[in-house]
Chain A
Amino acid sequence: MSRCRILAAACLAACLAPFAAGAESTIKIGFPMPLSGPAAVYGAPVTKGAEMAVQEINAHGGVLGHKLELLERDSKASADEAVRLARELIIKDNVDFLVGTLTSAEAPAVSTIAKENRIVFIAPTSKSVQLTSPKNLHPYLFRLASNTDIEGHSAASIIAGWKEVKRVAIIAPDYAYGRDAVAAFIGYLKKARPDIQIVDQQWPKLGQSDFTPFITAQMGTHPDAIFCDVYGGDFVTFAKQAGPLGYFKAVNNRLVDGGEVGTTDEAQALGADYPYGIWSDAYDPVIWAGDEPPEHKAFIEHLKAFTHEKYGSGWAIMGYSAIVALTDAIKKANSTDSDKVSKSLLGLTFDTPVGKRTFNAKTHETEMGEFWGQMVKGEHYPFAIISNPKYLAVGPFTD
């Protein structure tokens, strides 16, 4: 027994050995993002977008004479893991900035770490209004994404336009994003159409593997239309289980999903199983019939070449734009000091492939909207595309 004690002591002492720290010639950006599991359907293309931005910027000589370095880590869409990674990135890898996290559970948790360590953190995709509520907002936190108020209102405005709809059901993932979006949706719908009744709410968890009980329970309440916030790999599972049960047929495809299932990423993941006829959104419709901005066309061409994929991603724009915004802020501040960069981000206007966006100096958000439309079978594409994508944005709501 005594020998074991000595050995135990030796093992503990082993952790005293210092670990080598990296060299400090590049500007390091920590990038925790879900790269495995159902959320990776969105997380992986966001990461690709960020990689492309870093490559472009470095090809033009970097920022302030330094190259950018992206440190990608798989957060597994778990708040717990995202916190661990964010701290590791800060104290082990000495990152200068944090960009990343996908879900609205990860972002507030990482925001705490950014605040404590005084490091600028840009959330490219997390939508929950709680993230930037006055209680939680701090000088180092910025949100590129839309927010749940904008999403809920946009979705409600679509459903409110359907005169024959009287009974609406809701299905959304059971965490901050789903809850906040649904609250905004109900709030707006009640005002716009007092005659509509919310007949059912289902709350599956994020990463649910069997949606059948939720689907059958909801069908039992006979809704005319559905507001859905299931997204990513979860929506793939959901749609494959709901289709054969006649879920989409029962509401005549009057389902509005605010979780970006209108992206080419989601459409390709579902392929022929896509429930054509539903309505959804995307930050970037990718396939743009009509008056496509030339910057967008160039962006998608570059993206296709960068990823060696046949079609572009509707998510890459978020990772790409987050890095562009951060770079612009570093240039404006003429420093990589987070205190200075966070100040230069306030009110900063930057270019994205779909137009200029600005960080509101008060809310720290871009308050960007999304492109909405009905999902139809693409004529020249083996997957669903948004027909007549329309940019819907209302705001600001979160002050």
Chain B
Amino acid sequence: MRLRGPTLAQRVPWTLVVFLAALSVPFLGSRYDVFLATQIAISALFAVSLNLLLGTTGLVSFGHVAYFGIGSYVCGILMKTYGVPFSLALPAAALGSAGFALVVGFFCVRLIKIYFAMLTLAFSQIVWAICFKWNEVTGGDQGLPDVPYPNLDWIAAIPGFDGLRIGGQFYVLALIVVAISLAAMRRIVASPFGRVLTTIRENPERAAFIGVNVRRYELAAFVVAGGFAGIAGALFGIFNRGVFADYVYWPKSAEVMIMTILGGMQYFWGPVVGAATLVLLNQQITSYTQYWPFVLGVILLVLLFVFPGGIVGGIAVGVARLRRRSWRRLGA
């Protein structure tokens, strides 16, 4: 192994670059592009929060949608029913989801593998049942339509941003929240805490042997992931102009898991790529055919056999192979 300092590519603050590139969408694209970009940004945050469990800690959670849903319900109910401003409703949504994740996690981390996965699914179904049945608070099956937009006057006050429509302004707000959340998660994954989580993923017995309290670390990861999922949920409720019981139903858990695996769960940016791919594919394919689930199934099948590392993994392997070939040519 050769030791080398950070390359140029590593020195570039990629979160910032992606953020700035994404920020140009409302200025360059149409209303529909802004719509898709908002959906991608929020889905990306949700998928990265799941990957904190899936890729980083090695915990397979089938109930991640519960925290997304709680976040959107908390934010939606606070903003619509009680008229609370977004600046308070968003942290409340994150805290609400994290708090619930703490309770659920307390039980779940006591189990491993398939039992852990099934218990997370069970809890998410309980959340769904509550959201579906508690008509007075959650609106039951018809949900809470008409969640108001937050006050976005401050975005309009920024020079250059005053011409944006409300959808564009909300996109800017969502993008800022998503970028801060992604940066925070990036720090968490790279921190000593994150390293311990990776150790647990690789070998929980050995981690316990070297003195790591595995359950407590897993619980911490569970709570952090739940909190960020809650933020994504809060944004999505406003974006979709309402909160519905479908947000907490298990197929959404599967969808976010597909995004994560599709993008590549060994990579921090994998779920982001997965989210963008799935959202764009969905809207492209559904405009040609009704058989979107069939197409999705085929794509996944190919992916799992040909690129087990996801899109990012596949590209990384390809690039590495090209490099090696050029190295060899240089040597000859």
Contact = CB atoms under 8 A, between A and B. Distances in A.
A and B interact: yes
Interface of A: 1-9, 11-19, 21, 35-36, 74, 78-81, 83-84, 87-88, 91-92, 104-105, 108-109, 111-113, 116, 128, 136, 174-176, 179, 205-206
B30 interface: yes
A126 to B, nearest CB: 10
Contact of B7 (A2, A19, A84, A116): A2
A12 B242 contact: no
Contact of A88 (B28, B35, B241, B272): B35
B22 A91 contact: no
Most A-side CB within 10 Å, residue of B21, B142, B242, B277: B142
Contact of A12 (B35, B146, B268, B276): B276
B29 A16 contact: yes
Nearest to B252: A80
A7 B314 CA distance: 11
A11 B40 CA distance: 11
Dominant SS among interface residues on chain B: helix
A80 B240 contact: yes
A7 B33 contact: no
Contact of A8 (B29, B30, B36, B269): B269
B272 A12 contact: yes
A19 B30 contact: yes
A11 to B, nearest CB: 5
Given A3-B9, A4-B270, A116-B241, A9 B141 contact: no
Dominant SS among interface residues on chain A: helix
Contacts of B201: none
Contact of A21 (B17, B30, B247, B315): B30
B106 to A, nearest CB: 30
B9 A14 contact: no
Interface stretch (B91-99, B132-140, B155-163, B206-214): B132-140
Contacts, number: 149
A83 B9 contact: no
B141 A4 contact: no
Nearest to B135: A179
Contacts of B290: 35-36, 74
A3 B269 contact: no
Given A2-B9, A4-B315, A16-B25, A79 B142 contact: yes
Interface residues of B, number: 53
Contact of B244 (A9, A13, A104, A109): A109
Closest 5 CB pairs between A and B?
A175-B141, A8-B269, A2-B9, A105-B142, A5-B14
A1 B312 CA distance: 10
Contacts of A81: 246
B33 A19 contact: yes
Contacts of B87: none
A31 to B, nearest CB: 15
B283 to A, nearest CB: 8
Interface in B269-297: 269-270, 272-273, 276-277, 280, 283, 290
B215 interface: no
A2 B312 CA distance: 11
Given A15-B280, A79-B244, A92-B32, A109 B18 contact: no
B145 A108 contact: yes
Nearest to A136: B146
A394 to B, nearest CB: 25
Contacts of B299: none
A4 B267 contact: yes
Contacts of A12: 18, 21-22, 40, 272, 276
A80 B145 CA distance: 10
B143 interface: yes
Contacts of B141: 79, 105, 174-176, 205-206
